[in-house]
Structures are given as C-alpha cells and as structure tokens.
Structure 1
C-alpha cells in the first residue's frame, strides 16, 4: 500500500483550505494536516475533515441512470450518452439551439467551467447558459466593476486582515460558513484592531465583534449611506485621496447627505450613537477594510448596497492602499473562477464580455471557430430556470441542485418537471438529479486534477489522490463524448492540464489573465494570484488589449497591476506588461497604483435607499432571512450524506425571538409554519434573544417541508440579476403536533 500523501484542497467553500489526503488500510483516504498552506495552516472545519465520506460508493453514484417507464434504472455509458446526444440533437433540430439550456455550478474546476461554456456555445450553439454562482456574489461583482473597473472577490490576501486597523464585516457569519477564516479576525483584535459586524442576528461571528449593528433585513444600503453622511458631517473625508484617485464624488456626496442619522435610525433600527461609534472606529486607524457577503448582496438592490459600502471606503481613502480596501467573501468553492471563464450568461474566458467584438475574435481564434458563430448573451440563472418548459425545452445541468437552492424553489421544481428532457451530471443523486431523464455519475475532487480560484483570487491546483470507482467518468470526458456524438470531433480534450493550457491562451490579455500560470508553478508556489500575464516575446503584445464588463455593462479596463518600473526613452511601460524573459509573480494586491478604469480613478456611484421588493404588512408581518449552519453546505446534497455532519445539524429549524414565540404560544422545538406569498415551510422552533423580534431565520440546506427556499422571493437586482434571498415578508403560525 502506498504511504505517501497527496497535497490538495477542500472541496467545499472558497477558502479552499489546504489538506493532505493519505491512504488508509481499507483502500480509502483520510484527511491529514497540511500546515504549509497559508489560508488555514492545517486547520479545517468539520466539513473538510469528513469530506472523504462522500467518496464512498455507498453514498455516491457509480453507474449512469436512464429513465424508463417513469423510473431511473442503471444503464451503460454508451446508452446514456447516446440518449442525451439524441435528445439534444432532436430538440435543436425542431426548436433551434436556444431551446437547449445549460446550467453549471460554482463547484466546477476552472477547466470544467471553461469547457462547459465552450460546449454550450460551440457544440450546442445556445446562448442559454448560466450557473448557480449568479446566486453567490454577482452583486458584489457588479458593484466592484462599477467602482474599480475589475471584480476579484478580495483585492488583497487574507493575511492582510490582521494587520489593518478596523474591519466592517457586513452580512457574513464566517464563524459558521468559513470557520478557519475566523482566526484572521481573532488576530486582528489581538493586534489592537477592531471588528464591526453588521447582521440582524447575533451569530457566532457577531459574538466576536467589538461593535454589533443589528439592522432590519433589507436596510444595509441605508446603513452604509448613513455612515457616509456622518463621515462628511464630521469632516472625516480624505479630501486629497478623493481629489487625486476618484471621480464622481459630488454626486455620491449629495445622495448620502439625504440620509441623515435620525432618518437612518428610523429605517434600520440602528441607533444614532451606534452609527457615530462605527464611524469613529472605522476612520481613526490609518487603514481599514469593508468586507461584504451574502447578507447585503442577495437583495434586489444588492449592487447599489455594495456600491454604498464602496463609497464609504473611497471617501475615507480606504481602497487601493496597503492594508485597506473593499472585498467580497466569495461563498462557493470556485465561485470566483467559475464566472471568469465562460459559464456565465454574458462572459467569455478571461472575464471578457461576450458581446465585445474584440473579445469574440480573440476567443474564437483560440477555439478555431468563426466569431459570428458564437451566440450572444443569454438569460441570467433565475430567468433561465424560470423559462424551463417554455422556449427552453431541455437542460444539461452540472454540479447544481436548484430544487433546493433556487428561490421560489417549488416553482422551479415544477419548471424542471415540465422539460422535454433533463440530463444531470453529479456525484450523488440530488433532489434535482432524481427528476432527470438521464443521470451521469462523475468524478469528485479527490479523484481528478484541476484548478480552483479562491476568494483571494489565488489560483490553486487540486491534485488527484485516488482512482475513481469503475463506472464513474469526469465531466471533461462527458463533454468530449457528447461533442463527438453531436458532430464536433476535436477541441474537447479530457486531460485537465491540456484544457488549462487552452484556457491560458483564451484568457491572455483579458482582465482575468491566467496566461502566465502553469500547473508546475501552482505546485511550486502554493498557488498564483491572477492577473498573471505570460512573459512577452518580441512578437507578442506586452500588455492586454481587450476589455471586459460584467452584468452592469461598464468597461472593466485592464490596468490592474502596479506600474512596471522599467522605463525607456519612449516612455513608461504599460501597466500589466511583462518584460521578455521574465516571469510575472502574480498580483496578490490590486489597485495600489491605479484602478482598472480608463483613467485609473475609482468611480463613486451615487445610490439611494429603497425598500426591499417585499416589505412586511398585516398579512405577512415578519421578515424572513436565510443562511447556512456550520455542519452543512449549500443545498446539502453532499453534506447531508455524512453521518457526523447530520448528527450536528440533523434538519431545518425556525429561529425566532422569545417575544414572537410568546405571541405564537410556541416553545422550543414546537413545529412552526412559515408562510410567504410563494409557499409554506414547516420546521421546529429555535428560540433565542440573538435575533431581532421582527425577524425569523431559516437555514436553506434541506428539501421537503422544511425547504426555506420555498418561501424566498425571486425579485431580481436590475444590474446583477441576483434574487432577493435575504429578505421577504412571511407570517409564522403554530402547528399542532
């Protein structure tokens, strides 16, 4: 038996914690410490420690399944692939390529996400592709593009957090969602810095804060504007920074001044003294940060909310400076890389814009196709799912479980059932896979090699540690076989490193430039931060030439590196240039010299508060907000199959304040019905003073009658197309036992 361990990364969240996999006498693997990776230094949460449990053949799929007579039955790979190709080809012949939908996942490696986008556009010819990462940080991405010209979750490494003076953490319970990251904030406080947490619940994270602000759900935008108002009123604006490094301040200032403290207190429920204390704590240190997560982002005004927090950073000179900045805590394992390389409705690899002619020419040349053959932008994730069974007649779905994770989930479940044909590639028989006509069993994290991009923008290599079970194939093999059956014999390799080499060429010159990254570098350097352009040669450009945008349509710009010190008589080298014969080191910290806009200045965006799409009323008098618990992950499709995790978090619950419980006559553990305009969910009561009396909380990991997303509102942000997961109006009713 081999005794060597394989260095790799956790399959779950965007921390991508380092771990080693070591063989066991029984033929499996166990997780052991990997202290050399700087993000977690060997520490892991329960999900990471127990990740090998899902590798067991007892809990995962090991044979293709094909629906016959209303039942999924085992089939050969040829039977399953022939069925998928035949159905897709027949539907396309009758209804056209846009009748074929493709839905990806934020857990796919960069290689698979890249290939899925290429497969949709080159093989199927459809514009109807998006992925569940749209539900993760699309609002933060759109806000970052508007302000900075570029989106990367964190524009600095996590190691900078303990060295700053103050962090405002908005809508993140990372003590449960990313436990190993909590140490950065613990070290921040040990170093004399302060932590402000904004959350309507007193979470495990909020318990660590020096100041906890508990706004009403859906009022984070007003809160940020109120803080900016006080920054102006108290003379705390960094006038020199605003003058030299930004544009648009006067309009943003005027918008903020309409949100005076007493007005903001009435909207948010956060007192004026707390507002003033937050401003003092944030402005007094030399450096400070704002970090947002799903709380403010998963709203129908999420992009504007992110913009308001960025405006606070800009007005106080807290962006593009050492140990300062705005960042987003990406949730899904490859939520960052997944949207950079083409599985998003409006993008091509390298974070290029799909409707940009120069971007289309560049990528089409790499792919060996006519640029005019590439379809234009398609629907966003929820809009795509909502259209299933209408003009979208079939769906190929990889690594997602929208029956549990989509807003208005009961409706989406019905849309999936209305399809002419549904094919799902997954590790387990998820609730969505159970509805499929064909299910393909695919390899998992430990059984395949591929790259992931963490929330820091650090590209990492997950290495294959074990051989997959007989009967299981990789997603790359699936797309290779389907492409061949649909008439495209070349261009879909199955070797992940070969795919990555093509991805490097496709991303070259784009904002998310991976062209200087190789598998060898990823092993030797413990990851490389993008952008990382390839070395220049006398016959190749020395700087990017294409531009990119995100959902908001703003030019993303390209000057994201600190300016190269090399000079010659012709003038300065272009930002981002790599001199011939040199290797670019990667870019851990963005924007230190200039922002990625045409003029190098960050842009203030004037925003104003507006209510949530659905506010409480007489019929639905309570706010519902949703989130995660430490022992489960996303839709729970994998973690709900691990005994240890189920013992810690066996099912859904309704968290509510004692005052609300008293009005309902409910005791701890009593069943409660939570009812919205979209449906009804039932779960036991969990009574705590750590939540606002006007708010209830439900975790969203479970299907069935306790499915939280039965209730959530699909109202979309007009820019990011993010659904409003984090706030809707409900009523709560006691249920007889």
Structure 2
C-alpha cells in the first residue's frame, strides 16, 4: 500500500510543491505536483533527490553526549537532563544572557516561533539570533526604511514574466533556485528585457539581454550612476515622485555626484552601458529590480539596497502592478524565520521587541508580564564572536537548532574556536554536521517529511509541509525537545509539541502586526495552495501584491534613501591584490550538511574549487585542477583551480558549501553593515598562489 502526500521541497525559498509517495515501510519517492503555482511541477536535482535525505544511513538516530572528549550514544532523558542542568547552572552563575540560542532559516514557522518564545520566557535571555541574519537582513532593512514593511517579493513570482524590464542584481537563480528561471525566460519570450548585474557571467547572466560585470562591491556606485542618468536625461516619473514618495531631493543630490564616467572608474562598467540600461529601465512602462546576496552581503548592503530602491522609485516602478523592488530570499524559511521571533530584535508578527505595545500584546498571548521579556540582543556574528569569552558579555552556553556556523559563518576558523571554548554546546540537527561534531550534547531531530509545519516562501506565501512518513524510532521533533526542556527548566505549560496548536497561538501573537497571520489556518492553506500575508481575518483574501494603493509608512509614501558610495570594508592592496567573492553551485545547498549526503549531488559537485580568469592563471603559471592557496587576513584555504573567462581577471570565486582546508568562509570578512549587521561575505582582499604540495581539503566524494 502506498500513501501519497502533497508537501514541499526541503531546500530553498521557492518551497516548490512536490508529492511524496511512501510505500509502507519503504521510505519515500518524490513525484511531481503540477498544481502548485510556484514551480508548476518542475523540480531541480536537489528536490528530485530529496527523498534520499530520509535514509537512516545518512542521519542521526539517537542522542549523543560527550564523555572523555568523545561523543557516545545516550538516552533522551540523560541528554535532556544534561542540557537543562547545564543551562540552569550557567544562567544562575553568569546571568540569563550567558545562555544563548542560535536558530536557522530552514526551521518551520512553528519552530521559529517556539524557539523565540523558549529563549525569552524559559531561559529569559536576550541572546538569540539566527543564520537568516546572513541571508537577506540588508534587504529587510532597506525594505523597511523605504516601504515601511519587509517582504521578500511584494508580488507573486508570476508577475516577473509580465514586466517589461527587469534588473537582477547579484542573483543566480539558474543555480540557486532553478525552477524560478522559467519566469525570467517567459519575460524575454513576452518581449521583455532582462539585465543581469554580476561580477561573474553565471548561468543566469548567460540568459540575459545585457550583462553588467562590476567589481565586487561596485553595486552601490552602479545604482547611483543609473539614478544620475534617470535624472539628467529626464527619465524620472515626476508625478509618481511628487505624489507617492518623500526624500527625492537628498537622493538627487548624492546621485548627481556619480556621473557615468566616474562610475565607470569605480565599477568597471562602461559609461555607455550605464546610460543604455538607465534608458531601457526608465522608458519601460513596467519594471522591476530584484537583488540577492551579491549586493546585500556587504558592510554597505543596506545602503546598496536603498540605492537600487531609489532607481525603482525615481522611474515610477514601485507600488504599481507588474513593477517594484524585490529580494530573492535564499533559505527555505528565510522570510518566516525572522517574522516570528528568532531575530535578536523582533517578536512574533514582525514586531519590534523594544516597542511597548508589541511587548504587551505578545506577553499577553504568552501569559507573562511585559517587563519580564528581555530587550534586544546581539546580531548573529556578534553573538558567535562572544561565545566563551570571560566577563559580563560572554556567552557560556549555546543551543544551536538547524544551523551549521562552522561552515556558514564568516571568519569561520575564529567562530570554530569560539564554539570550542563554550562550557556547554547543544546542537539539534538531522545529521552530524560539522557544528554538531563539536557539541557536548547532540539531539537528533525529525525532518521535513517526518513532521508537519508551515513555511513562508519568498513571495510571502504561507504554505504547509505535511508529514508523510514516521521518523526513526530514536528521533524526536524540535517542538518535542523544546517542550521537554521547558518542563525541566520549570515551565510546564505553553510549549505544546503539536504543530497546529503552536500555529494557532502564532496566529494570535502575530495579529495586528505587520506580518499578520491571524486569518491563515492549516485548512485554508490546504484549500488555497497557500495564503499570502498580511491576512488579518478568516474572510480576508490575503495580500499577494503589496503597496498598490499606499506604502506601509505612516504617511503612505515611500522614502528615498540619501546614500553615497564608499569602499568595501577591505580593498585589495600590494599584499592581497585580488577580490574574493563567494556563492553557491547548483548541486549543493548552503553549508552542504544535507546535500553532501546525497550521492548524485555529491558526485556532481564533490568539493571546493577556486574559479579564476585565464589571464590570472597565466600569471600564476597554473593549469586547470592545480591546487591553489587563497589567503586573506583571516586565514588560508586550499582548493583546485577552475579556469574560466566568465569571471573578471581581478576577482576569484569560491563556493562556500564545504568544510576543511577548502572552506571559503575561513577567508571571509566579518565586517558588519551598521544597520542590518550583515557580514561582508561577498568581497574581501586575498592573495592567490600555487599550492602544489598542499592537501586539497575534503576532496572528491569524501563525506564529512
């Protein structure tokens, strides 16, 4: 007998619909689900092979505790008692904020909500953040400044195919979310123009009508140059600017100092191309700008997003049908994960934790006094960098749920040292990730097909992942773990492990907030193939398109950003003469903790590499496949050369999916954006040299 369940992919923010066919006692097979509107049945290789993640051989099946320096199997009571006793003792000795929580952008809304609640009313700690801070926090900050509200896309994906001119900045959906590429192809088939901005000629850039190839860190100057041309050549939609925006004159003043020839010197993009793109975008009846990690993962990421939003506003391409600014969220629940309490400064419903009214509302739902809730804590990298430090600001214990910072954090060698210095590290995960290997207690958690829960995709569409199979006998859900820990720490109510019960409370906690889920229910999601937030009531239709009548600011007008260009936090010099940029490859996902355990994916992309231009390879006297040592001020990584003319001669690229000596994030710069606290993953200064006698890191086919 075979059970068929409609559910969603466990990977990126598209949350593609899929069908799981589960023969009794024989795992699960992925099948198409053509009725789901986001992917219309299409799946990338990661989605097609997702059933392999459920194989017992690739995952944790029992709790582990550290004894005499090594991890050993343990029962659940022993493991949970050790965690609760450790958290209680450390909190009593060093203060509540010495116990921290680090969450993940792949957790369901229910888990993200319950994790934030656990931190604040069970642990009483302000020390909570999540790896989504490394994903789209700069876009979130830019959105809130300009529009008063942050949602990755303020329109459904289907609108992309119907706009006339689209500028995609630093995104590569052909490799990061392949089913979405059809919308960009359809745009061109419908007569629209696709412009891609990227230092590399990626698979997505190869699909474009125009590819602009700026220096890493050049996106802010490029946007200012485009705005300059819109103003100078009278392409500004003056009526839109007058009636629906504020702050144009300050933005205009900054842009006029960035004429095309100056921007060419700053970015390497020719003045002619800058003028051409500005005219195409300004003259189009409808248009969009989409950004991704390329312009956002910088110490000036929020300003860069603001500059690209300025281009949209000046051209009248926001708050109108088939026009607007959007962000291509990366992680599966990068949107919902920050809406409901994992972020250091937020409460459920996208409320500020410093807002007295927000504190009163959420505390009322939780049944606690508003004054008992902690205040804002530290951002993700600041939290990780404080681990194990002595003094009042040090964090001595950490619960990590659904994240692998040993691979994914900037300056990763330093983060690894900080994790090792903790008095107690607890990791809840599906697999023995590189971070879990350092833990004192490891808790095996159920995964996507073994539990039910909601996710919020990049469109703001709340969808339902439905349980299709039972987890292995020794595995528990994260909601169950939080319930059991809360009880051991003296809170025996308010932490149910039934996801629908948690979601019903989330609805009440979010009610009236910007991310209002009050009108969304499991039954409604099933009936409607997802519901767009905000949805404040059961009879509300949901909001697939934002801002068509007004922006979410107090006066209903969008704000121009008064931003000017500045260098990256670190620029090449005589000792470190090249730019390093990082990113993803098609077969792997994020830190690779899941995809590196799937044979077909691991075979397609078995290890790290250094992508460099033939001119640079000639100067270094290296051939394709030779080992290269890439050195920054933070460390050294070694990986094989991959020579290609699709990258700038002054730039090298490394994917960040692997641990070991080929770990790209050993090199990256933790310089933070002052507003979003986003680290500068996408640009740092490096030296590259042959390393013919060095080890290559994980190597082909080797698993962690």
> Equivalents in 2 of 1:523, 1:27: separation in Å?
26
> Is structure 2 residue 130 aligned with structure 1 residue 131?
yes
Q: CA deviation at 1:4?
A: 3.5
- CA offset digits 1:60-104 (Å, max 9, x no partner): 000000001111000000000000000000101111100001000
Q: CA deviation at 1:54?
A: 1.3
- CA offset digits 1:169-224 (Å, max 9, x no partner): 00001100000000000000000001000000000000000000000000100000
State the match for 2:205 in structure 1: 206
The total of aligned residue pairs comes to 689
State the match for 2:445 in structure 1: 442
- CA offset digits 1:552-587 (Å, max 9, x no partner): xxxxxxxxxxxxxxxxxxxxxxxxxxxxxxx00100
> Is structure 2 residue 593 aligned with structure 1 residue 637?
yes
State the match for 2:83 in structure 1: 84
> Is structure 2 residue 495 aligned with structure 1 residue 492?
yes
Q: CA deviation at 1:26?
A: 5.9
State the match for 2:654 in structure 1: 698
> Equivalents in 1 of 2:3, 2:424: separation in Å?
45
User: RMSD in angstroms over aligned alpha carbons?
Assistant: 0.6
- Pairing 1:552-571 to 2, within 5 Å after superposition: none
State the match for 1:601 in structure 2: 557
- CA offset digits 1:25-52 (Å, max 9, x no partner): 7611000000001111111011111111
> Equivalents in 1 of 2:207, 2:278: separation in Å?
19
Q: CA deviation at 1:605?
A: 1.1
- Pairing 1:214-613 to 2, within 5 Å after superposition: 214-390=213-389, 391-534=394-537, 583-613=539-569
State the match for 1:562 in structure 2: none
Secondary structure of the 2:136 match is helix
Secondary structure of the 2:343 match is coil
State the match for 1:677 in structure 2: 633
> Equivalents in 1 of 2:282, 2:671: separation in Å?
35
> Equivalents in 2 of 1:33, 1:464: separation in Å?
17
> Equivalents in 1 of 2:184, 2:387: separation in Å?
43
State the match for 2:571 in structure 1: 615
> Equivalents in 1 of 2:25, 2:509: separation in Å?
43
Secondary structure of the 2:135 match is helix
State the match for 2:699 in structure 1: none
> Equivalents in 1 of 2:552, 2:199: separation in Å?
34
Secondary structure of the 2:38 match is coil
Q: Which runs of 5+ in 2 are unaligned?
A: 694-704
> Equivalents in 2 of 1:218, 1:240: separation in Å?
33
> Equivalents in 2 of 1:669, 1:452: separation in Å?
41
Secondary structure of the 2:403 match is coil
State the match for 1:46 in structure 2: 45
> Equivalents in 2 of 1:646, 1:69: separation in Å?
33
- Pairing 1:57-206 to 2, within 5 Å after superposition: 57-206=56-205
Secondary structure of the 1:14 match is coil
State the match for 1:559 in structure 2: none
> Equivalents in 2 of 1:600, 1:96: separation in Å?
43
> Equivalents in 2 of 1:609, 1:224: separation in Å?
10
- CA offset digits 1:482-535 (Å, max 9, x no partner): 000000010000000000000000000000000000000000000000000025
- CA offset digits 1:585-606 (Å, max 9, x no partner): 1000000000000100001111
> Equivalents in 2 of 1:355, 1:230: separation in Å?
41
Q: CA deviation at 1:281?
A: 1.7
Q: CA deviation at 1:381?
A: 0.1
> Is structure 2 residue 656 aligned with structure 1 residue 653?
no
> Equivalents in 1 of 2:447, 2:512: separation in Å?
31
> Equivalents in 1 of 2:542, 2:411: separation in Å?
41
Secondary structure of the 1:5 match is strand
- CA offset digits 1:300-357 (Å, max 9, x no partner): 0000000000000000100000000000000000000000000100000000000100
Secondary structure of the 1:355 match is coil
> Equivalents in 2 of 1:488, 1:534: separation in Å?
31
Relative to the length of structure 1, the TM-score reads: 0.93
> Equivalents in 1 of 2:251, 2:328: separation in Å?
25
Q: CA deviation at 1:136?
A: 0.2
Runs of 4+ in 1 over 3 A off after TM superposition: none
> Equivalents in 1 of 2:142, 2:335: separation in Å?
15
> Equivalents in 2 of 1:4, 1:82: separation in Å?
37
> Equivalents in 2 of 1:598, 1:736: separation in Å?
61
The one of 639, 643, 660 aligned to 1:687: 643
